[in-house]
């Protein structure tokens, strides 16, 4: 049985949603932020609290004309005082933005919890701190970054100095998903601004609140009008598509589903915009019998269930060396049972709802499919019953399957829920081959006490990021991204700077 939070009668769970309500108890209207002003769109759509299905805010959908205005404002800002700021001045401004997030930590926290339904303890530990940390990191990275230079000597005796200068790309369109809304938005906004660009961001329609708060922070921090713009709306036929197809946008950076990435590639093709894509994953964890068992089971429980499995880096495939298989399955089962599926505002909650009814339908369809494909259900596989408001929310049970063939769709396709399939293996080569048998290539983890084996196996995984004896341990200077269906390019540290800027090589002849 999955434990559910016991304080269902407490009013505490309403607090996060209340954070988005206005004083007169009408729901708040989240507006677009264009050229330094909050503006309404032509239509509104509802922002729903996934914990109980209630409407917590209305969101103003940007029109095509408003997306045009945002892009024009960004273009104009490039030519103004923003374009003349020195790197140290931009870095100082990024630190002021981070200060602004920290000063309104509680507002960001409640808004993120209300929008996503994630446990408040998780948002307080990861989402909001990373929102501020992203700005501080890229303020420091841009100041420390060097550029290439070469002293050139040709065979016929000419000497020259080649050196590169960094320039902004111009207007960058930023499109982000709902799973880590503030973290993933600021992960792109911070380096884009650090490099001197102006941005138009389109947050997920499911989670618009922290982007709206970030606009307020930008205003207070003194970011010039037009440098940071927010347009709310959907993908096709809405702000997302208007932005990606816009001829005035110089580059698109996107995090989300692989299928959406493909649609955006088609949209940017006519104007040949550079893209940076962080897409889906079907990540594998490889557990060797010589691992530190407790550390490993705890690490894998996190890798499978954190954020209700809605992290692109989550492990949905766990391969365990055969002699450890039964013990591992039993212990991970116990960990799943110990999760507290509850109200997001309850400090004891470890596991919140999924983001939406549609997403829950998708995850439940995979739970059904796994049974049809012959899976053994170790735990979960359905919807928890609460007998309170949470029954109107989008909860699913944390779920573990075994017994599927490698060819099963549930082993091949990204589910994006609190679920994994565990399979045994006998040799290193078999584990590596199975882990790599996917069209995705985002992340992987290897769990072993044998360091040589850890290095060897990690290197052979066909992914952008491999963790050894840990998971989601981040250093913002490292390359981050995926291969195959998992994305195009790398961000993080210098890799972000290289995407968000154009390098201009200058060649100066030194000899007569």
Indicate which residue of 61, 206, 278, 316 is catalytic: 278
Is 278 catalytic? The answer is yes
Q: Which region, judged by CB under 6 A, interacts with ligand 6OH, from 36-44, 162-170, 307-315, 399-407?
A: 307-315
**Residue with smaller CB distance to ligand 6OH, 17 or 137:** 137
With CB cut-offs between 5 and 8 Å by kind, which of ligand NAD, ligand 6OH, none does residue 350 bind? none
With CB cut-offs between 5 and 8 Å by kind, which of ligand NAD, ligand 6OH, none does residue 321 bind? none
Query: Does 234 engage in binding with ligand NAD (CB under 6 A)?
Result: yes
Secondary structure (3-state) at 145: coil
Pairwise CA distance, residues 111 & 117, whole Å: 10
Query: Does 313 engage in binding with ligand 6OH (CB under 6 A)?
Result: yes
With CB cut-offs between 5 and 8 Å by kind, which of ligand 6OH, ligand NAD, none does residue 474 bind? ligand 6OH
Single residue of 97, 184, 315, 364 touching ligand 6OH by CB under 6 A: 184
Single residue of 60, 260, 350, 466 touching ligand NAD by CB under 6 A: 260
**Residue with smaller CB distance to ligand 6OH, 239 or 312:** 312
**Residue with smaller CB distance to ligand NAD, 312 or 400:** 312
Give one DSSP letter per residue of 465-477, joined into a string: EEEES-SS---TT
The sheet with strand 399-402 has its strands ordered as 376-379, 399-402, 419-425, 315-321, 283-287, 443-447, 465-468
∠ CA 82-87-93, rounded to 5°:
65
Query: Does 180 engage in binding with ligand 6OH (CB under 6 A)?
Result: yes
CB of 438 to ligand NAD, least distance (A): 13
Indicate which residue of 195, 291, 312, 314 is catalytic: 312
Single residue of 57, 172, 175, 400 touching ligand NAD by CB under 6 A: 175
The count of chain residues that interact with ligand NAD, using the rule CB under 6 A, is 31
Two structure tokens written together for 283: 């990540």
Nearest to 98 by CA among 489, 350, 476, 491: 476
Pairwise CA distance, residues 483 & 490, whole Å: 9
Q: Which region, judged by CB under 6 A, interacts with ligand 6OH, from 29-37, 111-119, 177-185, 220-228?
A: 177-185
**Residue with smaller CB distance to ligand NAD, 179 or 350:** 179
**Residue with smaller CB distance to ligand 6OH, 138 or 480:** 480
CA quadruple 385, 310, 301, 377: dihedral, nearest 10 = 50
Query: Does 61 engage in binding with ligand NAD (CB under 6 A)?
Result: no
Two structure tokens written together for 8: 């269902």
**Residue with smaller CB distance to ligand NAD, 344 or 489:** 489
**Can you give the three-state secondary structure of 284-333, one letter per residue?**
EEEECCCCCHHHHHHHHHHHHHHHHHCCCCCEEEEEEEHHHHHHHHHHHH
**Can you give the three-state secondary structure of 57-93, one letter per residue?**
EEEEECCHHHHHHHHHHHHHHHCCHHHHCCHHHHHHH
Nearest to 296 by CA among 473, 426, 448, 122: 448
Q: Which region, judged by CB under 6 A, interacts with ligand NAD, from 163-171, 177-185, 329-337, 400-408?
A: 177-185
Single residue of 112, 278, 302, 346 touching ligand NAD by CB under 6 A: 278
Strands 275-278 and 149-153: unpaired
Pairwise CA distance, residues 135 & 93, whole Å: 9
Task: Give the number of C-alpha atoms closer than 13 A to the C-alpha of residue 344, restricted to the C-beta side.
Answer: 32
Q: By rule CB under 6 A, what string of x and - marks binding of each residue 455-494 to ligand 6OH?
A: -------------------x-----x--------------
**Residue 344 to residues 12, 113, 278, 308, 367, Cα–Cα distance (Å):** 9, 7, 27, 11, 24
Query: Does 179 engage in binding with ligand 6OH (CB under 6 A)?
Result: yes
Burial bucket for residue 272 (CB in 10 Å: 0-12, 13-18, 19+):
exposed
Single residue of 32, 255, 466, 498 touching ligand NAD by CB under 6 A: 255
How many helices (H) and strands (E) would you count in the chain? 18, 23
Chain positions contacting ligand NAD, by CB under 6 A: 175-179, 184, 202, 204-205, 234-236, 240-241, 244, 255-257, 260, 263-264, 278-281, 312, 414, 416, 442, 482, 487
The catalytic site residues sit at 278, 312
Chain positions contacting ligand 6OH, by CB under 6 A: 179-180, 184, 187, 311-313, 474, 480
């Amino acid at each position: 049985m999955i434990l559910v939070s016991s304080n269902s009668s407490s009013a505490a769970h309403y607090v996060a949603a209340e954070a988005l309500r206005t004083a007169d108890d009408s729901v708040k209207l989240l507006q677009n932020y264009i050229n330094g002003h909050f503006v309404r769109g032509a239509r509104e759509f509802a922002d729903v609290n996934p914990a109980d299905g209630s409407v917590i805010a209305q969101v103003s959908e940007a029109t095509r004309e408003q997306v045009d205005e945002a892009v024009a404002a960004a273009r104009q800002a490039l030519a103004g005082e923003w374009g003349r700021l020195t790197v140290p001045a931009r870095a100082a401004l990024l630190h002021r933005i981070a200060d602004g997030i920290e000063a309104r930590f509680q507002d960001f926290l409640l808004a993120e919890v209300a929008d996503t339904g994630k446990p408040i303890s998780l948002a307080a530990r990861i989402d909001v701190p990373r929102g501020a940390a992203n700005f501080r990191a890229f303020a420091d990275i841009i100041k420390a970054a060097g550029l290439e230079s070469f002293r050139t000597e040709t065979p016929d005796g000419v000497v020259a100095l080649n050196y590169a200068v960094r320039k902004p790309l111009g207007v960058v369109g930023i499109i982000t998903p709902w799973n880590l809304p503030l973290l993933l938005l600021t992960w792109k906004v911070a380096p884009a601004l650090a490099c001197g660009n102006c941005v138009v961001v389109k947050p997920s329609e499911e989670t618009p609140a922290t982007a709206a708060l970030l606009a307020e922070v930008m205003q207070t921090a003194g970011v010039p009008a037009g440098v940071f713009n927010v347009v709310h709306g959907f993908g096709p036929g809405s702000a997302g598509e208007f932005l990606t197809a816009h001829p005035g946008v110089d580059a698109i950076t996107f995090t989300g589903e692989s299928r959406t990435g493909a649609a955006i590639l088609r949209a940017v093709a006519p104007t040949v915009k550079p893209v940076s894509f962080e897409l889906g994953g079907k990540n594998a964890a490889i557990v060797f019998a010589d691992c530190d068992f407790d550390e490993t089971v705890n690490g894998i429980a996190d890798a499978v269930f954190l954020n209700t499995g809605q992290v692109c880096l989550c492990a949905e495939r766990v391969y365990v060396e055969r002699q450890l298989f039964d013990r591992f399955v039993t212990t991970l089962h116990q960990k799943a049972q110990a999760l507290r599926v509850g109200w997001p505002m309850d400090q004891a909650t470890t596991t919140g709802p999924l983001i939406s009814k549609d997403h829950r339908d998708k995850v439940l369809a995979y739970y059904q499919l796994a049974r049809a494909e012959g899976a053994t259900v170790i735990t979960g596989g359905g919807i928890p019953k609460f007998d309170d408001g949470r029954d109107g929310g989008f909860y699913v049970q944390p779920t573990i399957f075994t017994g599927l063939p490698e060819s099963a769709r549930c082993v091949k396709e990204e589910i994006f829920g609190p679920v994994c399939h565990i399979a045994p293996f006998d040799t290193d080569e078999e584990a590596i081959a199975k882990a790599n048998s996917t069209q995705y290539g985002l992340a992987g983890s290897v769990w072993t006490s044998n360091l040589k084996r850890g290095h060897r196996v990690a290197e052979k995984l066909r992914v952008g990021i491999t963790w050894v004896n840990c998971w989601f341990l981040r250093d913002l200077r490292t390359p981050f991204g995926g291969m195959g269906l998992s994305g195009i390019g790398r961000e993080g540290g210098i890799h972000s700077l290289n995407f968000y800027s154009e390098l201009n090589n200058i060649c100066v002849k030194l000899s007569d």
